């Protein structure tokens, strides 16, 4: 078991520095905005002035996590991102097309996917393992697996998280691809301290995680994952899912029929987070928060099949006091 010692999220929900937020969240509606903290409290002005949205969110969430966990330096920093620093990428490419002569360097330097992990490390003066995973919709699950492997190798506290940012161009592209959804494309960041040992601060445990590409049969993979962890479907208290398990539009019925449990609570977490490639990190915070505040919840499965051929699975378990 791997233990979540701290969690921090910036999203459309009032999650930041708000334990118990999962009890008050509501599905996103048109015009719903990201709830940003006062970044000046978490980031030095000299660094803040050149940071894009994704960098501000990541550095603030990381700082908040470390503060909550009472940890000055994590043993490693591991970040997942599906699309990386889009604002700086767009800015740099626009400069390249329009500016004659020398190109301003800042947006180029900050356009790479590993800028978040790098900025977090710079803000902490951390010289430990620093890694960024980018595998589209299962980037967070891959980052989480990396953090779990580091703990298996003897590390104590890993800062692991995920972030993605929205730019207007994504709306244009999704309209051209005829992607329609009730909840819009957006930004979000969630970070965690994953620890080797349980403590008084532990919010929940992660029993197992899996990230699979080129998946042909999602139901088979889910069943095998549960079997491998000796969890019966009727042990599950909640499934948080994104995308479609059986190619239909009714995820709830799909899961209930797959696991042969009519009354199993099933929730589409993207209705609460909005759509971004690493929203399963939001689901993990939501799961940990629910376990912390509803003691009867013991097992939550996070099933991320936002993109049909990718599958991310995380089994979250409560930790007895």
Partner 1 sequence: MDDLKEELKRQLIEQLNLEEITPADIDDNTLLFSDKGLGLDSIDALELIVLLEKYHGIQVTKPEEGKEVFRSVNSMAEYIRKRQN
Question: According to the binding rule CB under 8 A, does residue 19 interact with partner 1?
Answer: no
| Minimum separation from the CB atom of position 149 to partner 1 (A) | 34
Token pair belonging to 240:
């948080």
Question: According to the binding rule CB under 8 A, does residue 213 interact with partner 1?
Answer: no
Question: According to the binding rule CB under 8 A, does residue 105 interact with partner 1?
Answer: yes
| Minimum separation from the CB atom of position 92 to partner 1 (A) | 13
For partner 1, which is the closer residue by CB, 167 or 314?
167
Site string for partner 1, 55-94 (x = CB under 8 A): ----------------------------------------
Question: According to the binding rule CB under 8 A, does residue 179 interact with partner 1?
Answer: no
Question: According to the binding rule CB under 8 A, does residue 27 interact with partner 1?
Answer: no
One of 1, 19, 35, 48 touching partner 1 (CB under 8 A): 48
| Minimum separation from the CB atom of position 40 to partner 1 (A) | 9
| Minimum separation from the CB atom of position 104 to partner 1 (A) | 5
Burial class (CB in 10 A: 0-12, 13-18, 19+), 128: middle
One of 104, 179, 247, 248 touching partner 1 (CB under 8 A): 104
Residue range at the interface with partner 1 (CB under 8 A); choices 82-90, 98-106, 172-180, 208-216: 98-106
- Can you give the binding site for partner 1, defined by CB under 8 A? 45-46, 48-50, 99, 101-106, 109
């Amino acid at each position: 078991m791997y233990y979540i010692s701290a969690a921090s999220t910036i999203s459309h929900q009032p999650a930041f520095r708000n334990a118990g937020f999962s009890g008050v969240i509501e599905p996103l509606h048109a015009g719903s905005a990201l709830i940003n903290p006062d970044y000046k409290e978490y980031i030095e002005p000299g660094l803040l002035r050149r940071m894009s949205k994704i960098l501000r969110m990541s550095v603030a969430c990381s700082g908040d996590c470390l503060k909550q966990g009472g940890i000055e330096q994590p043993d490693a920093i591991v970040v997942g991102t599906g699309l990386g620093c889009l604002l700086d990428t767009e800015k740099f490419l626009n400069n390249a097309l329009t500016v004659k002569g020398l190109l301003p360097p800042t947006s180029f330097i900050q356009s790479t996917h590993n800028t978040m992990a790098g900025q977090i490390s710079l803000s902490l003066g951390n010289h430990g393992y620093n890694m960024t995973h980018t595998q589209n919709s299962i980037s967070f699950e891959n980052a989480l697996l990396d953090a779990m492997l580091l703990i298996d190798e003897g590390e104590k506290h890993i800062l692991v998280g995920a972030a993605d940012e929205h730019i207007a161009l994504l709306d244009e592209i999704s309209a051209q691809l005829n992607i329609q959804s009730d909840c819009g494309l957006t930004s979000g960041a969630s970070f965690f301290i994953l620890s080797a040992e349980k403590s008084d601060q532990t919010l929940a445990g992660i029993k197992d995680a899996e990230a699979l590409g080129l998946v042909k049969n999602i139901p088979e993979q889910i069943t095998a994952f549960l079997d491998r962890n000796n969890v019966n479907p009727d042990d599950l208290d909640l499934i948080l899912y994104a995308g479609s398990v059986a190619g239909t539009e009714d995820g709830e019925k799909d899961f209930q029929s797959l696991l042969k449990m009519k009354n199993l609570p099933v929730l589409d977490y993207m209705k609460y987070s909005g759509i971004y490639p690493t929203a399963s990190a939001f689901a993990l915070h939501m799961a940990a928060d629910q376990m912390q505040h509803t003691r009867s919840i013991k097992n939550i499965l996070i099933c991320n099949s936002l993109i049909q051929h990718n599958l991310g699975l995380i089994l979250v378990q409560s930790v007895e006091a």
